[in-house]
């Protein structure tokens, strides 16, 4: 597969999943990620994840059940005991191997035309922050994202009350609570992208360079 190009040129075809690696199949977040991935796969979206356990495994398994294509972005670190590592139970149609955590995160964002962020820990928060700041920097040529779950509401409320975030920065994502809301929101994001002014699509290429060396 060739490297992804600016999402606005092709709208939304692939969606990257982010979330907690340290959860079991019985966890409500795992179940939600599985169901969302299955629903998206049935609609023809490619599901992209980090090739690990937890939400990542749920994304692959759900997409596989839905008959969709899956891509994982992995790396095998040295001296990184806090990283979940590649998970043998997460087998995707295509694996992209990277050399370090940062490269892996940006490659995930490169291959996703949009992102869904589930409940997670510090790694998930770093992915959320990166997706958000890139959307701000390249606003109008950005990749949108979904925050999945009720728990995001007080988090965003606290950010709104205590941090200096511009109003337009809140327009690059939506909070969803069900798989049906996710499907509708992805379709809405795709429509917004299709209506963008692409006369200066070179700016979109600059956005892509944020993910590549």
pLDDT value for 201: 52
CA distance 89 to 59: 12
Q: For residues 114 and 12, is the Cβ–Cβ distance under 8 A?
A: yes
pLDDT value for 3: 37
pLDDT value for 8: 38
Instruction: State the 10-residue block means of pLDDT for the chain, 213 residues long.
Output: 40 96 97 98 97 96 98 77 66 93 94 98 96 94 96 98 95 98 97 76 54 51
pLDDT value for 1: 36
pLDDT value for 200: 53
Q: What is the set of domains in the chain, with CATH numbers?
A: 10-202 (3.40.50.450)
pLDDT value for 30: 98
E-strand spans in the chain?
14-18, 46-49, 70-74, 94-97, 114-117, 145-148, 173-176
What is the token pair recorded at 189? 């994001």
Q: For residues 165 and 135, is the Cβ–Cβ distance under 8 A?
A: no
pLDDT value for 100: 87
At residue 74, what are phi and psi to the nearest 5 degrees? -125, 165
Secondary structure (3-state) at 143:
coil
What is the token pair recorded at 56? 């990542």
What is the token pair recorded at 52? 């690990």
């Amino acid at each position: 597969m060739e490297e992804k190009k600016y999402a606005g040129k092709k709208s939304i075809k692939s969606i990257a999943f982010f979330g907690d690696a340290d959860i079991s199949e019985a966890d409500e977040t795992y179940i939600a990620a599985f169901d969302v991935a299955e629903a998206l796969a049935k609609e023809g979206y490619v599901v992209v994840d980090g090739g690990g356990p937890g939400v990542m495994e749920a994304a692959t398994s759900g997409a596989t059940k839905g008959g969709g294509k899956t891509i994982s972005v992995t790396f095998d670190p040295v001296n990184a005991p806090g990283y979940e590592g590649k998970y043998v139970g997460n087998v995707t149609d295509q694996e992209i191997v990277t050399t370090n955590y940062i490269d892996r995160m940006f490659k995930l964002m490169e291959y996703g035309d949009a992102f869904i962020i589930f409940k997670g820990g510090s790694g998930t928060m770093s992915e959320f922050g990166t997706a958000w700041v890139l959307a701000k920097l390249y606003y109008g040529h950005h990749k949108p994202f979904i925050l999945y779950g009720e728990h995001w509401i007080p988090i965003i409320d606290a950010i709104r009350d205590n941090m200096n975030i511009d109003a337009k920065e809140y327009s690059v994502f939506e909070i969803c609570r069900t798989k049906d809301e996710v499907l509708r929101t992805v379709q809405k994001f795709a429509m917004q992208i299709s209506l963008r002014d692409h006369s200066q699509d070179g700016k979109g290429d600059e956005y892509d360079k944020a993910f590549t060396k």
